[in-house]
Every structure is written in structure tokens, then in C-alpha cells.
Structure 1
């Protein structure tokens, strides 16, 4: 059994989205993305399906030429290779569920590239 918290030891980075792997299990990875209001994760793709949950705050989620406003509690599932981007409307905590074969380092690279 592994245990984690989306709110414990939460730290925002004023220069870019803060990425932290919370769980890395046999079947997948759970990642916390902490975004200050106005921060962006530029358009990117993942090779595997993902699930995005807005745990706190709200974001604009760009996908397929539209922008979806996602508020606290919203969930979005995307297939692999779908271009998408995130912009925090206000300070937000996003939970990202990754396929085990996907890399948390890829997510960190997207955040770093979004400065």
C-alpha cells in the first residue's frame, strides 16, 4: 500500500507549474501539478491516455480547437497523442493520472518549457 496527499507539502513555483509525483504504482502514476493563477502548460501531447482532475481552483483546458473551463471537481479523459494545454484561471491543484509506461520526466519537461 502507498499513501499520498494532494495538499500536504504543497508548494507553488512562481516561475512555472510545480510538478510532484505522488504515487508510482505497478499500474500508473499520480502527479500533482500546482499552478499559480495565470501560469500555463504550453500545448503538448502524451503518447498514452491520461485523466486530468481539477482538485482545487479552475483552469482553461485547450483541446481540439476549443477551450473548456474546468472548475474544482471536473475530470477530463484524453486519448494519447491529443494536443492540449492548460492555463490556470486562479491558483489550482491538478491531479494527473498517467499510464505506467508514461514518464513523469516528460511532464516536468513540459512545465519547464512553459516558463
Structure 2
């Protein structure tokens, strides 16, 4: 089965999942040679260990509350808040509440 990604100019619904978080999986919304957008679905307590992205990233908490650790600091992101990181900055995430997070990666030219 092919993975379905959004097409250029297609409207993408990023409304809160609310009680559907438990039944929804993380998925890539779209991916091109230059960038990728991923909707992370994080039930409370879910952790993503420290890792690095292959390009600059934005992390936009759509709903819930997550601890986002980078650069030796942990930030609490609530729904509607975002931050960005430079390429290859180590970071980790932990959901404090059921949460969804939009991660956008801009791939480094090289």
C-alpha cells in the first residue's frame, strides 16, 4: 500500500485530534527534496529519545503539552507555541499530556 502524502496546494487539516489521539498514528504530511512535514502524535508519557534532524526544524505544538529538550535546556511547549532549531542540534521530546506536534524539516543543501 502506497503512503499518501498531501499534494501541492491541497488544504491540510491540523485541527486538534482531542480524544482521537489514542487511535491516530504519527505520519508524514508531505515530503519533497527540500522539506518534510510530520504530525507527531504523542500520548501522555510518550518519549522520543535524543536525536538529530538532517536540517533546520520547526516544532509547533498543536495541542497538549510537551517537554522539548535542546541545547541543555528543557522548554515546555503548550498548544499554539513553537520553536526552531538549527540543523543537527540534538533534541528530545516527552509528552506531558496527550499532544500533537507539527515538525517541519528543511533539508540542508549539500
State whether TM-score is above 0.5: yes
Structure 2 Cα separation of the partners of residues 68 and 49 of structure 1: 18
For normalisation by structure 1, the TM-score amounts to 0.73
Structure 1 stretch 50-59 or stretch 60-69: which is displaced more? 60-69
Could you say which residue in structure 1 is the equivalent of 2:75?
A: 68
Structure 2 Cα separation of the partners of residues 55 and 97 of structure 1: 13
SS for the counterpart of 2:26 is strand
The equivalences for 1:90-109 within 5 A come to 90-100=97-107
Deviation of the 1:7 alpha carbon? 4.2
Could you say which residue in structure 2 is the equivalent of 1:4?
A: 12
Q: Aligned pairs, how many?
A: 98
Contact 1:48 1:99 in 2 (8 A): yes
Greater Rg by CA: 2
Could you say which residue in structure 1 is the equivalent of 2:56?
A: 49
CA RMSD in angstroms, aligned pairs only = 2.4
For normalisation by structure 2, the TM-score amounts to 0.76
The equivalences for 1:79-98 within 5 A come to 79-98=86-105
Contact 1:5 1:22 in 2 (8 A): no
Deviation of the 1:65 alpha carbon? 1.3
Contact 1:4 1:23 in 2 (8 A): no
Structure 1 residues 37 and 88: CA distance shift in structure 2, 3 A:
same
